[in-house]
Amino acid sequence: MSSSRHPKVSTDEGAQTHGAPPLRSPRAIYREHFADARRERLFLSSVAFFLTFAIVRAITYTIHAGKGPLHDLVVGGMHLHHLVLGILLLLGVGYLWLAQVGTGIGRPLDWPSRLTALLYGVGAALTLDEFALWLRLEDVYWAREGRESIDAVILFGALLAVGTWGGRFFHALVREAARALRR
């Protein structure tokens, strides 16, 4: 019995299908949703940021608890906080973006744009995970004051998420508000 919602349609091979559009691959959906390079970079940065934060928190917890094979990174007898690695990544990505490598401008290659976006997210997570350290200039990671790092991660993560998932919406709201004010 044929449904009026999905009438049968003949295909080139002679098979019968319903009128529903064909399923799209995840790659096709991704390309459609992130056709704009800026939106894609925000998305990749956001994913890298949240994944890195979760992984770093898990690693630091196991180190703090004395479980597993990982230990603090010590260079020359000094504990090297992961915030330092984050700052170095952010400096490197910033330099590349100043030289317009991986900015998506002209888009001759997509991979530098994607790579620098991912590295930016990783660097931001490594840095903001120890926000309380650079705010207070003392290691309070496991103290009550260490909550400031989590607050910073939530705020910055929300900013990345708004840019990724709500940027077009908020841009349209601002544009409409500006039009209303001009009347």
In a domain, 5, yes or no: no
Nearest to 156 by CA among 48, 39, 38, 37: 48
Q: Which domain holds residue 95?
A: 36-164
In a domain, 16, yes or no: no
Can you give the pLDDT at residue 10?
46
Determine contact, residues 125/156, Cβ cutoff 8 Å. Answer: no
Rounded to the nearest integer, the mean pLDDT of the chain is 80
Q: What is the pLDDT of residues 46-76, one digit of tens each?
A: 889 999 999 999 999 999 999 989 888 889 9
In a domain, 100, yes or no: yes
In a domain, 146, yes or no: yes
- Say what angle helices 147-161 and 37-65 make with each other, to 10 degrees: 160
In a domain, 31, yes or no: no
Q: In total, how many domains does the chain have? A: 1
In a domain, 176, yes or no: no
pLDDT exceeds cutoff 50 at 1: no
In a domain, 29, yes or no: no
The pTM is what? Answer: 0.72
Instruction: Assign 6 a pLDDT band (cuts: 50, 70, 90).
Output: very low
